[in-house]
Structure 1
Amino acid sequence: MSSTGSAPSIFSRIARREVPATIVAETDRIIAFNDVAPKAPVHVVVTTKSEDYRNVAELAAGDPGLLAELVDVARQVADELTNGQFRLVFNTGEDAGQTVFHVHAHVLGGRLGEGTLGSE
C-alpha cells in the first residue's frame, strides 16, 4: 500500500482534475483516460481513484472486488474503442516497466502493424 504522507500520484491528481487528461470512462472508484505517450492506436490507462494499492498483486489480495471493477471498466472501454479486441496489461515492479506505483492497467488496441502494438 502507498505510504501515508507521500505526494499524490499523477493518477490521483488526474482523478481530482488537478492535471488535465482526456477521460474516457469513470465510476465512483475507477477512472480511465488516454495515455499521454501511447504505445498503440488505442492506449487507455485504467486506474483506481484510491492510492491504497501500488500494483495489481496488492489489489488482488486486498480488494478483489475493486480489481473486478477495474477490469470491467477496461472491458467497457475496449468494447467502445476497439470493438472488444484488446490487450490488458498490468506492469508490476520497476523491472517490469512500472513507472507509476499506483495500480493501473493499460488497454491497448488497434490493428496489428499500426502504432507499436505488434504481435508477440
Structure 2
Amino acid sequence: MAYVTDITYICTGAGWVYLAIVLDLFARKVVGWPMAPSMPAELVCNALHGHPRQPCLGLVVHSDRGSQYASALYQELLDEHGFVCSMSRKGNCCDTQSIMVGSAIAERFFLNLKTERVW
C-alpha cells in the first residue's frame, strides 16, 4: 500500500488557495484534501490526517522534496504513524520508478481537476 502527496494552487474569486492532496495509489482515490491560503507544513500534515481509511504500519508515502515534506513536523507525523517516507534524491526527480509513477498520478489528478472544475 502506498500514498502519494502533492500541492497545487488554485485561483478563486477570493484569491489564491493551496490544495494539498493525498492519493491512495492502490485504490486511486483521494483520501485527504485540505485547502489553505498559504503552504505551511501543517497543510500537508492535515492532508495526511484527513484520510478516512486506517492505513497499516509501513505505508509508503511518496512526495517531492518540498520544504513542507522535509519539515520536522511532517517527518514526525510519518514516524508517529509508522509510515515510510519516500523522496527522490536531491536534484534527481527520476530517482525511482515508484516516485515517477506516484508523481505522475498526482500531476494528472491536478490537471483533470483544473481542466474539468477550475478552468
TM-score per shorter chain, which class? 0.3 to 0.5
* TM-score normalised per structure 2: 0.33
Q: Which has the higher contact order (CA 8 A, sep 6+)?
A: 1
* TM-score normalised per structure 1: 0.33
Structure (1 or 2) with the greater strand fraction: 2
Structure (1 or 2) with the greater helix fraction: 2
